[in-house]
Structure 1
Amino acid sequence: MKHWMLWLLAGIVALLGGLASLFNLGSASSLTLTLGGWALIIVGALQGWAAYKAPSAPTMIGAGLLALAGIFLGLSLLFGPFGDGRMLQFLLGALLIASGAAKLWVGRSLRGDRVFPVLLGAGGVSAILGVMVLLGVTINFGLVVALELLASGVALVLLSLRLKRHAGEN
């Protein structure tokens, strides 16, 4: 499977997981956490594989950080927080900030490209959500998961299409 296809598949899974979580906010219980958790784990695993196949070190580092953040967050959603709820709050906030930083890291080399503003926005959404969670701003947990999955999905789909376009030029 081509490198760009892994990113596209991860992006589609993230978008589907984000949409499913977004449309199930009313039942923001185990269904949203389960859907979001599995989507994050699958996206993280696919991104980890894509990072392993990445053509450059900056792309590998950024995708690897994003993959680890997704997997850890997915596992914490599925298996619950370690300790009390404050640990999950800290873990979620830190991982969202790491996810935002990873998106910005990957996108930093794409200044002037059409996808740069979208990657900047996706990274900003993740980082802002992380800061809000760390500060204890009251927000629906399912909404946080849904927005993170949607931001990651959009970034991954756009990056995959860019990689495909550049692979065709070479």
Structure 2
Amino acid sequence: MTNWKIWVGIGVLTFLFGFLALGNTVVASLAITIMLGTLFAIAGAAQLWAGFSGAAHDNRVFSLLWGLLSLMIGVSFIANPVEGTVSLTMVVTGFLLASGGIRLLMAWRMRESPLFWTLLLSGTVTVLLAGYIIGNFAAISLSLLGLLLGIELLVDGAGLIGFGLFLRNHRS
């Protein structure tokens, strides 16, 4: 038996954090960059340790190079969070553009399917979103990650609240 109140409580907290992130998207974006930089630095240090300690065996050189690259990215993100945020926004925009383009290609290949319009709409909206970000990059780059995080937290919070209420109403 799961306590539904825990799920609702986590959902409410997640939802509130979403509002906080949306309240100051630049700070949320910088926090994401610093947290990601810390994770990169820890992963890079671990990879370097594996390379130097011999735990990487046959891939020692690759392990050392990958560890050094990860450590450098992490330190760069921590030392320069504004530049790191801009870099991450470029990466996210590239992923949006690629994802939308792939969906458009899939839609084209599925022209005879009833799912054609769904994929076509999805791909088109994603490519247009990436184009909007590229067109307004200077204004958007520092707040995009925080905006996406805030929206994600709101949606996740609502989903967790719904899940908790479902558990309350459907006890076995």
Check whether TM > 0.5: no
Using the size of structure 1 for normalisation, the TM-score is 0.39
